[in-house]
Chains A and B, each alone.
Chain A
Amino acid sequence: MSGLLHWVATHGEIIGRTVREHLVLSGVALAVALALALPMGVALVRHPRAAAIAVGGVNTLRTIPSLALLVIMLPVLGTGFLPSVVALTLYGLPAILLNTLVGLREVDADVIDAARGQGLSERQITTDITIPLALPVILAGIRTSAVQIVSAATLAVFIGGGGLGELISSGLGLLDIAQLVTGALLVALLAVATELVFGAIQFGLARRYGIAS
C-alpha cells in the first residue's frame, strides 16, 4: 500500500499524461460515435428496411471483441491516435444507434398521430415530439457506449494510442506492481465516474420531461 502511494507521489507527470490521453481518446471517440449514430438513427427510423440492415450490421460489429477491433486497425490505419479513435468509435457506435432506433420507435403511435393531426410538419414531429420522448432511452445508450469506450480505451496502448493502458502494460512488463495497480484502479475509477456522470444527466433530463426512463 505504501509502495503504491509512493509510486503515485513520484510519478505525477506520467499519471497526468496518461489520464489526459485516456480522456481525450475516449471523448473524441464518443463524440464521433454520437455524431454518426444519432443522425443515422433519426434517418433510419423512417426506413424500416434500411434500419433492419443497419441493425444487422451493427449487431455483427457488437460481437467483435474490443481488442480484435483495435488490432484490425493496424494493417489499415497503422498505429497511433487515429486508428485508436476509429476502433473505439466503432466499438461505441452500436449501443447509441440501437437505443436511438428503439427509443424513437417506442414513442406512442397515438402521440405522433395527434401531432401530425394538429399540423406539425414531419421535421417538427421529430424535433419536438419523438426525440424528446426517446431521450431517456437514447441517453441510456450513450451511457452504455461511454462506459464501453472508456474501458476499451485501455487497450489502445497495443496500437500506440496511449492512455492508462500504458501504466498497465509497462507495469506488467517491468513487474512493477505499484504501477500496474495504479493503472488498473484509475481505469476502474474513470469507468465508474463515467457511469455516474451520464446516469445523473439521464436522471435530470427524465425528471425535467416528467417521464420515467
Chain B
Amino acid sequence: MIRLERVSKTFPGTALPSVDAVDLEVPDGTTCVLIGPSGCGKTTTLRMINRLIEPSAGRVIVEGEDVTRADPVQLRRRIGYVIQGIGLFPHLSVGDNVATVPRLLGWPKAKVASRIDEMLSLVGLDPATFAGRKPGSLSGGQRQRVGVARALAADPPVMLMDEPFGAVDPVVRARLQREFGEILRRLGKTVIMVTHDIDEAIRMGDRVAIMRGGRIVQYDEPSRLLGRPADAFVADFVGADRGLKRLTLEPAAAFAVPGVAPPGVPALPADASLQEALSLMLASGADAVAVAGRDGRPAGLVTLARIREVAAAQAEGGAASAA
C-alpha cells in the first residue's frame, strides 16, 4: 500500500506550494492514476514517493514504512520507476538496461541472465533479438517496453510510472495501455501512474485522482468520476462526452441478449465496449449489433435500447449492473 498524509512541497524561491497537503491512499494491487493540467504537481507528487524530491511537510508511507526515514538509494531499488522521458542508458545493451536493479542488488549472474529473458518476454520483446541491441536502435514503442521491463526487473511491489506512454502514437499507445494494464494486474503491483490523457486514466485506473494547483480535487473510481464530477473543473476536465466515455467502461458482451444479428453488420470483438457497440450502430444504421463470445462465435446481440438503459442507470449515479 502507498499512503500520502498531508504531503506538501514548496520549492525554494517559489511563493506557492507545488503540492499542497495531498492525502492519497492506494490499496495493494491497485492502480491509481494522477491526472490534471500541466504544472499541477503530478510529477512532484510521484517523485516524493521515491524521494527524488524531499517533501516539505507530511508523511509518505510505502508498504508500511515511512520513506522519509529510509535510505533513499536503497528505497529506490525497491520501487519501480518509469520516468517521463524513459531515460534508457544509451551506452548499455537492452539486456544490461533491464539488469540494472538486479545487479545493484547483487543477484547472481545466472539469475540476472534468466531475469533479463523473462522480463523482455513479459513486455513482448523477443530476448534473442533484443537483449543485445542498443536502445538507440529501437522504436519509441519498443523503448517504452524496455523502460517498463527495467522498472519491473527486481520485482518491486510498487511501481511509479510518469507518462509511460507519452512518446508513442495513439495506436501503439492503446496497445501498450492494454498490455501493461494486464501485466501489472496479473503481477499484483501497486501502481501510481501519471498521465494527462483522460481516456488513458479511465482505461487504466482502478481509481483516478484529478489534481489542480497542487491539490487533489477528486479521487474516485472512473465510473463515479464520469457520473458524479465533484465540481465544474472536474466536469470540464473529463469532457462534455463523459456520458459516452462511461460506456467505454462497460464490456458489450456483458449486456448481450439472444437474437439474430442484422444482415451486413460485422460482429464486435469479444472485448469491445458498449461505446464501440454504439459507434457501430451509428455507423451502420442498425439498432442492434452482434458481439462475439470468448470462443469467437456470436454470443448475442446488444441493442440500442439496452445501451439507453445502461446510460440512464449510470446517470442515476450507481454503477451500471450487467444483465
- Give A contacts to B, CB under 8 Å: 108, 110-121, 124, 129, 132-133, 209-211
Contact = CB atoms under 8 A, between A and B. Distances in A.
Contact of B89 (A115, A116, A117, A119): A115
B88 A111 contact: yes
Contacts of A129: 89
Interface in B22-74: 50, 52, 73-74
B86 A211 contact: no
A119 B88 contact: no
A111 B52 contact: no
Nearest to A112: B87
Contact of A210 (B76, B83, B87, B136): B136
B177 interface: no
A132 B89 CA distance: 10
A119 to B, nearest CB: 4
A211 B101 contact: no
B73 A110 contact: no
B90 A111 contact: yes
B48 to A, nearest CB: 13
B173 interface: no
A212 to B, nearest CB: 9
A175 B77 CA distance: 72
Contacts of A116: 52, 76
Nearest to A206: B91
Chain A binding site: helix, strand, loop or mixed by DSSP?
helix
The interface centre, meaning the residue of A110, A114, A129, A211 with most chain B CB atoms within 10 A of its CB, is A114
A110 B85 contact: yes
A110 B104 CA distance: 20
A211 B76 contact: no
A92 to B, nearest CB: 27
Interface residues of B, number: 26
Given A119-B77, A121-B73, A113 B83 contact: yes
B81 A117 contact: yes
The interface centre, meaning the residue of B50, B75, B90, B136 with most chain A CB atoms within 10 A of its CB, is B90
24 contacts: A108-B87, A111-B87, A111-B88, A113-B85, A113-B87, A114-B147, A116-B76, A117-B87, A118-B76, A118-B77, A118-B104, A118-B151, A119-B77, A119-B101, A120-B73, A120-B104, A121-B73, A124-B104, A129-B89, A133-B90, A133-B91, A210-B90, A210-B91, A211-B136
A111 B91 CA distance: 11
A117 B73 contact: no
Contacts, number: 67
Contact of B91 (A110, A120, A209): A209
B134 interface: yes
A153 B159 CA distance: 58
A132 B90 CA distance: 10
A118 B81 contact: yes
B89 A110 contact: no
B73 A210 contact: no
B100 interface: yes
Contacts of B85: 110, 113-114
B77 A111 contact: no
A117 B77 contact: no
B101 A111 contact: no
A120 B105 CA distance: 10
Contacts of A119: 73-78, 101, 104
Interface in B191-233: none
A65 to B, nearest CB: 38
A116 B77 CA distance: 10
A110 B88 CA distance: 8
B9 interface: no
Contacts of A117: 50, 52, 76, 81, 83, 87
Nearest to B93: A210
A185 B73 CA distance: 57
Contacts of B151: 118
A211 B78 CA distance: 30
B91 A211 contact: yes
A114 B101 CA distance: 12
A117 B46 CA distance: 11
Contacts of B52: 113, 116-117
Given A119-B73, A119-B101, A120-B104, A114 B88 contact: yes
B145 interface: no
Contacts of B90: 108, 111, 133, 210-211
A53 B100 CA distance: 36
